[in-house]
Amino acid sequence: MIGRLSGTLIQKQPPMLMIDIHGVGYEVQAPMSTFYQLPELDQAVVLLTHMVVREDAQLLYGFYSESERLLFKSLIKVNGVGPKLALTILSGISADEFVQVVKNNDESGLVRLPGIGKKTAQRLIVEMKDRLDDWQGNNTSEQDKTSTGSTHLNSEQDIIKEATSALIALGYKPVEASKMISQLDKQDQNSQSLIKQALKNTVR
Return the CATH superfamily for domain 156-202.
Answer: Ubiquitin-associated (UBA) domain (1.10.8.10)
Handedness of CA 34, 113, 53, 68 (dihedral sign): positive
Using the 8-state DSSP alphabet, how is residue 82 labeled? -
- Residue 105 backbone dihedrals phi, psi, to 5 degrees: 55, 40
Domain boundaries defined on the chain:
4-63, 66-132, 156-202
Q: Hey, which CATH number is domain 4-63, 2.40.50.140, 3.30.450.90, 2.102.10.10, 3.10.580.10? A: 2.40.50.140
**CB proximity list for 154: less than 8 A, separation 6 or greater:** none
pLDDT, one tens digit for every residue, the chain (204 residues): 789 999 999 999 888 999 999 999 999 999 988 988 899 999 999 999 999 988 888 999 999 999 999 999 999 999 889 999 999 899 888 888 898 899 899 998 898 888 889 999 999 999 998 888 777 655 555 554 333 344 444 477 778 888 888 888 777 888 888 888 888 887 767 787 788 788 877 655
Count of all residues that appear for the chain in the document: 204
pTM (2 d.p.): 0.74
Architecture of domain 66-132: Orthogonal Bundle (1.10)
DSSP code of 197?
H
Using CA atoms, how far apart are residues 132 and 34, in angstroms rounded to an integer? Answer: 21
